């Protein structure tokens, strides 16, 4: 609510307020127009309560004016004929022509200014015509003076009536405007008695004018709460005006919120005080404001309490820079980013953080939003690669971007996170782009612990394998070595005889040679079955083995940035074999491929595994984009301790070949025809029986 100060001058106040008043808008709502002030100014020009009552009683319509004008014009014409006849036939020295003023008065009450002028001109013509008929061209003094007096009265009356007609037209237009406006406008006196009620008030409050005229304001419109009514009346008395919001009850009993302006005017110093009230319904605006506040509260509650860190970015400067780069002629923006690291650094400093939730504050170890990082570059590490990917996504118009990166925290150093942004389809909404930040520190810690356990398990398995091999070799070779020792000792004894017994010495040496051969065969068998002394066979699907093995190596492939392609086409066939051994073959081959692609560009790393059925064999082909097999030929590379890696032991391919051979299969390796990697292929017959039991 607002009290308005008293006015020094009505017209000056109206002009100043018309120039300075600013509309109050919210959605489709508006501030009441100045119709009440127009009405007030008309009151100030001399219109009293009677004229306002006449507005309401007559409800001025154009058809009524036309009908009145028609009747009055006919009366004026008839009266003019009578005056003309009387003036012409009169023999008395009287100014009968002065009576033409009555014609003007009769016609002007409903006529326009042009009509008044036309009637005045007609009366002047009749006056002159009557004068010349009665007196001719004689210029007697008294008749001429009467003629001049009659014409002067005609002209003077016409001027006054023309001015009155103009004022009446303005008044009629304003009255019609008051009736046509959608605002509710009514007038009341100092005591609150209603004396005018327009159509807008009828529509808004439900009362017809005939129901409220003469009744008190607060009896018709009950106000919720006496405080608002008392404050309005007090301001009206003190300052002559008031404006503010009220909650009133309509005729139907419905409560509505209205914005009302009151203005007190006194048409004349001796006239009673009139109060002009203009009102609009703001119930829809109030409901929209309440819904907006409720929605904002729900959004803010969700935003602040969500267990996911969220902060808003202003991306408009970055988008403007990207558009400027494209406008300069850059077509391949990704290549531009690869060759312009300074642009990425500069763009990071343009992204301003506009808001964060409580989870983000806890994540970053900050207590207040005012202390949060202002720009994206404040918490992204220098070696971050995700922002360049984001710029590429923004330039391409992608709507969703997700990446895994790290951010700097004030407490815990770098925190691994997953960042997801939903990008708006238009640039107008880039000033508030939300990013969801998920802390994956626990997941990364668990993955690292799992990877460490896996490596330890693999190392333990290798140690166990070495132990089994050592035990097997020791157990199997122990007896031949003991036999060799006994035979050589026997040879030594036979040679120490006098004379030496050469025949027995030869027999002992033959036994020693035979034991040496046996030891060599034992070592050879252990090498063939490297890792297991006894194998368990079953029906297997090569496709299932490939799928399971790839699942074990998937994380390592992802970390290395290797794009994996599977083409498995032998799922309908099974073989008889050892699952663990065949899986070990695939693990060895995939591991070799990963090492071979270490020097390959990250975006060019690829690994393809394909299974096919050819004749009575299942063929498995593994193709990488690494360095190839180098100078070693296909057969030499499968020998034990043959390797192309500086730190390799040269056992992986040898073991793999032994396992494939145990399945009666074959394995080969070669460079790709395009020279961009190697192809390893092994074949296993269908069915393949492993004669482990006989070995």
CB 543 within 8 A of CB 584: no
Q: Provide the whole-model pTM.
A: 0.41
Q: Which tens digits make up the pLDDT trace of 594-640?
A: 888 888 888 889 999 999 888 888 899 999 998 887 665 556 666 65
CB 28 within 8 A of CB 178: no
- Nearest-CA neighbor of 277 among 364, 143, 187? 187
Burial 100-111 (b: 16+ CB within 10 A, else e): bbbbbbbbbebb
Query: Which distant-in-sequence residues (6+ apart) come within 8 Å of 459 by Cβ?
Result: none
**For residue 94, is pLDDT > 70?**
no
CB 528 within 8 A of CB 661: yes
Helix (H, G, I), strand (E, B) or coil at 608: strand
Q: 563-568 and 606-614 as β-strands: parallel, antiparallel, unpaired?
A: parallel
What percent of the chain is predicted at pLDDT more than 70?
74
Cα–Cα–Cα angle for 252, 258, 262, nearest 5°?
115
CB 108 within 8 A of CB 69: no
CB 628 within 8 A of CB 677: yes
CB 500 within 8 A of CB 509: no
Average pLDDT of the segment spanning 53-70: 49
**Topology of 306-439 in CATH?**
Beta-Lactamase (3.30.450)
Supply 679's token pair: 């192809």
**For residue 23, is pLDDT > 70?**
no
Q: What is the pLDDT of residue 689?
A: 37
User: 639 φ, ψ to 5°?
Assistant: -80, 150
From start to end of 44-100, where are the E strands? none
Q: Which tens digits make up the pLDDT trace of 167-217?
A: 666 656 666 666 667 788 888 888 888 888 888 888 889 999 888 888 888
CB 258 within 8 A of CB 168: no
Query: Which distant-in-sequence residues (6+ apart) come within 8 Å of 169 by Cβ?
Result: 112, 113
**For residue 379, is pLDDT > 60?**
yes
Helix (H, G, I), strand (E, B) or coil at 329: coil
CB 562 within 8 A of CB 607: yes
**Topology of 183-278 in CATH?**
Beta-Lactamase (3.30.450)
CB 260 within 8 A of CB 277: yes
Q: Which tens digits make up the pLDDT trace of 223-237?
A: 876 677 788 888 888
CB 38 within 8 A of CB 175: no
- Whether 445-528 and 183-278 are alike in CATH topology: the answer is no
Q: What is the pLDDT of residue 172?
A: 60
In sign, the C-alpha dihedral spanning 26, 29, 30, 32 is negative
**CATH number, domain 538-694:** 3.30.565.10
- Using CA atoms, how far apart are residues 360 and 482, in angstroms rounded to an integer? 74
114 conformational bin, left if phi > 0, alpha if psi -120 to 50, beta if neither:
alpha
DSSP helix, strand, coil percent of the chain (3-state; round to 5): 55, 20, 25
- Nearest-CA neighbor of 9 among 33, 41, 39? 41
Q: Which tens digits make up the pLDDT trace of 267-316?
A: 666 667 788 888 989 988 888 888 888 888 887 777 777 778 888 888 89
pLDDT band at 682 (very low <50, low <70, confident <90, very high): very high
Helix (H, G, I), strand (E, B) or coil at 448: helix
Average pLDDT of the segment spanning 25-50: 41
Q: What is the pLDDT of residue 622?
A: 92
Lowest-pLDDT range of 31-45, 363-377, 469-483, 541-555: 31-45
Query: Which distant-in-sequence residues (6+ apart) come within 8 Å of 33 by Cβ?
Result: 181, 183, 278
pLDDT band at 657 (very low <50, low <70, confident <90, very high): confident
- Using CA atoms, how far apart are residues 215 and 228, in angstroms rounded to an integer? 21
Supply 612's token pair: 């096919």
- Using CA atoms, how far apart are residues 189 and 595, in angstroms rounded to an integer? 98
H helices present in 497-541, as ranges: 502-528
Burial class (CB in 10 A: 0-12, 13-18, 19+), 244: middle
Which residue would you say has higher pLDDT here, 363 or 328? 328
- Using CA atoms, how far apart are residues 184 and 202, in angstroms rounded to an integer? 7
Q: 194-197 and 352-356 as β-strands: parallel, antiparallel, unpaired?
A: unpaired
What percent of the chain is predicted at pLDDT more than 90?
3
Lowest-pLDDT range of 57-71, 85-99, 317-331, 444-458: 57-71
**For residue 655, is pLDDT > 60?**
yes
Average pLDDT of the segment spanning 371-388: 82
Which H/E stretch holds residue 188? strand 184-189
Contacts of 401-405 spanning 24+ positions with Cβ under 8 A = 404/440, 405/380
Which residue would you say has higher pLDDT here, 688 or 656? 656
> What are the extents of the domains in the chain?
62-178, 183-278, 306-439, 445-528, 538-694
pLDDT band at 21 (very low <50, low <70, confident <90, very high): very low
If you count DSSP H runs as helices and E runs as strands, how many of each does the chain have, helices first? 22, 19
Q: What is the CA radius of gyration of the chain?
A: 55
- Nearest-CA neighbor of 64 among 109, 120, 102, 104? 109
CB 607 within 8 A of CB 573: no
Q: Which tens digits make up the pLDDT trace of 119-168?
A: 888 888 888 888 887 777 666 777 778 778 888 888 888 888 887 776 66
Which H/E stretch holds residue 4? strand 2-4
Average pLDDT of the segment spanning 62-80: 67
CB 665 within 8 A of CB 682: yes
Q: What is the pLDDT of residue 526?
A: 54
**CATH number, domain 445-528:** 1.10.287
């Amino acid at each position: 609510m607002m009290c308005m100060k008293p006015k020094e001058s009505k017209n000056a106040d109206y002009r100043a307020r018309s120039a300075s008043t600013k509309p109050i808008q919210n959605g489709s709502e508006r501030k009441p127009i100045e119709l009440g002030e127009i009405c007030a100014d008309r009151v100030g020009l001399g219109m009293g309560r009677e004229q306002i009552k006449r507005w309401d009683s007559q409800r001025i319509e154009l058809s009524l004016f036309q009908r009145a004008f028609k009747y009055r014009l006919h009366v004026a014409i008839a009266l003019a004929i009578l005056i003309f006849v009387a003036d012409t036939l009169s023999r008395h020295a009287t100014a009968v022509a002065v009576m033409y003023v009555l014609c003007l008065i009769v016609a002007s009450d409903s006529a326009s200014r042009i009509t008044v002028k036309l009637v005045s001109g007609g009366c002047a013509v009749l006056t002159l015509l009557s004068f010349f008929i009665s007196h001719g061209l004689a210029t007697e003094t008294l008749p001429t003076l009467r003629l001049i007096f009659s014409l002067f009265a005609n002209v003077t009356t016409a001027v006054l009536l023309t001015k009155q007609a103009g004022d009446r037209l303005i008044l009629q237009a304003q009255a019609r405007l008051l009736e046509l406006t959608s605002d509710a406008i009514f007038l009341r006196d100092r005591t609150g008695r209603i004396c005018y009620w327009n159509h807008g008030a009828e529509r808004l409050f439900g009362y017809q004018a005939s129901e409220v005229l003469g009744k008190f304001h607060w009896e018709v419109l009950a106000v919720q709460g006496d405080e608002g009514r008392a404050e309005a009346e007090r301001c009206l008395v003190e300052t002559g005006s008031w404006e503010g919001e009220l909650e009133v009850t309509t005729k139907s009993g419905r409560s509505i919120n209205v914005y009302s302006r009151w203005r007190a005017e006194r048409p004349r110093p001796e006239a009673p005080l009139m109060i002009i009230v203009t009102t609009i319904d703001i119930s829809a605006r109030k409901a929209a404001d309440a819904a907006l506040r409720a929605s904002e509260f729900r959004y803010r509650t969700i935003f602040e309490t969500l267990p996911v860190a969220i902060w808003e970015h202003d991306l408009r400067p970055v988008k403007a820079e990207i558009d400027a780069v494209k406008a300069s002629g850059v077509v391949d923006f990704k290549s531009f980013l690869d060759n312009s690291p300074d642009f990425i650094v500069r763009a990071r400093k343009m992204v301003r953080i506009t808001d964060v939730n409580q989870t983000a504050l806890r994540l970053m170890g900050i207590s207040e939003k005012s202390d949060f990082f202002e720009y994206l570059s404040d918490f992204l590490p220098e070696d971050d690669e995700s922002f360049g990917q984001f710029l590429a996504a923004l330039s391409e118009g992608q709507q969703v971007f997700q990446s895994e990166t790290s951010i700097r925290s004030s407490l815990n150093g770098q925190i691994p996170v997953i960042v997801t942004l939903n990008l708006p389809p238009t640039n107008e909404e880039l000033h508030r782009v939300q990013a969801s930040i998920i802390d994956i520190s626990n997941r990364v810690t668990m993955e690292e612990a799992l990877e460490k356990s896996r490596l330890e398990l693999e190392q333990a398995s290798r140690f166990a394998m070495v132990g089994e091999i050592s035990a097997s070799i020791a157990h199997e070779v122990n007896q031949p070595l003991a036999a060799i020792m006994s035979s050589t000792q026997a040879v030594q004894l036979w040679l120490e005889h006098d004379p030496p017994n050469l025949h027995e010495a030869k027999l002992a040496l033959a036994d020693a040679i035979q034991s040496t051969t046996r030891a060599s065969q034992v070592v050879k068998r252990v090498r063939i079955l490297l890792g297991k002394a006894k194998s368990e066979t079953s029906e297997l699907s090569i496709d299932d083995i490939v799928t399971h093995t790839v699942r074990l190596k998937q994380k390592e492939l992802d970390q290395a940035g290797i794009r994996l392609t599977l083409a498995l086409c032998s799922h309908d066939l099974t073989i008889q074999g050892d699952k663990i051994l065949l899986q070990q073959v695939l693990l060895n081959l995939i591991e070799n491929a990963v090492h071979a692609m270490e020097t390959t560009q990250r975006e060019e790393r690829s690994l393809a595994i394909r299974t096919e059925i050819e004749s009575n064999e299942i063929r498995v082909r593994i193709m990488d984009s690494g360095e190839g097999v180098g100078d070693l030929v296909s057969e030499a590379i499968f020998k034990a301790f043959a390797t192309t890696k500086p730190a390799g032991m040269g056992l992986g391919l040898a073991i793999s070949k032994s396992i494939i051979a145990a399945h009666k299969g074959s394995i080969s390796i070669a460079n790709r025809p395009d020279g961009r990697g190697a192809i390893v292929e092994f074949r296993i017959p269908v069915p393949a029986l492993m004669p482990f039991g006989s070995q």
